[in-house]
Each structure stands twice: as structure tokens, then as C-alpha cells.
Amino acid sequence: MKRILLVEDDTFLIDIYTTKLKESGFSVEIAIDGDEALRKMREKKKPDLLLLDIVLPRIDGWEILEKIKTELKLKDLKIIILSNLGQKEEVEKGLKLGATKYLIKAHYTPSEIVEEIKKVLK
């Protein structure tokens, strides 16, 4: 079973994505801020995929991406950014910082997001 770490601070979206991902056979762990996300990735077995929001309390998604790049254990982690930030510069920045894919929340249904995750994990 593939493990996904969902980093999201909106409880409504956490419920929707967690339900969809579990229905699709994924194991899901939640982090509601950047501190918690980094701690979980460092303390536990590395997830198969990080589903990352950018706008987060404490440490934002950009900073998480920066920290992941510097940690050998996490360097090859597959990352999908799932954010409402949809400007061209933001998408380019996310990909440049190591994200495998950048999805804009408003453009994808939860089912489509699951399909994108499956493609990345193939």
C-alpha cells in the first residue's frame, strides 16, 4: 500500500482528500502545518508521495520544498503541490524547487487528483 503524506490546513479538504485516497487504496497521513510535515517525514518511514499545499501555518510549502532538497533522506521524494496559488511564476517556482507536478485545486476534482497521484506513483 502506497503511503501519502497530505499537508493541508483546511479540515474540509482534508476530509475529502483522505476519503478519496483511502477509497483508492492509499494509506494517508495528515500534517496540518509545515512543522508537523517535516517532523513526520524525518521521524517515520518516508512517504511514497507528498501532497503539499503551499499556504500553510508556521512553515509554508515553499520552505518545506527548500528543506526537502537539502535532506538526503528526502531528496528523491515524489511531491505533488496542490494549491490555489495558480500564477505561472508560482507553478514554475514549485517545479523548480523539486515538485513532480503542480495541481491547482480549483482545476481538479478529488477523483482527478487521485488519478494524477496514480500516474506519478507508477
Domain count, the chain: 1
| pTM score, whole prediction | 0.95
Handedness of CA 31, 32, 38, 42 (dihedral sign): negative
- pLDDT tens readout for residues 83-96: 999 999 999 999 99
Predicted confidence band of residue 98 (pLDDT cuts 50, 70, 90): very high
- pLDDT tens readout for residues 14-71: 999 999 999 999 999 999 999 999 999 998 889 999 999 999 999 999 999 999 989 8
> Looking at residue 45, what is its pLDDT?
86
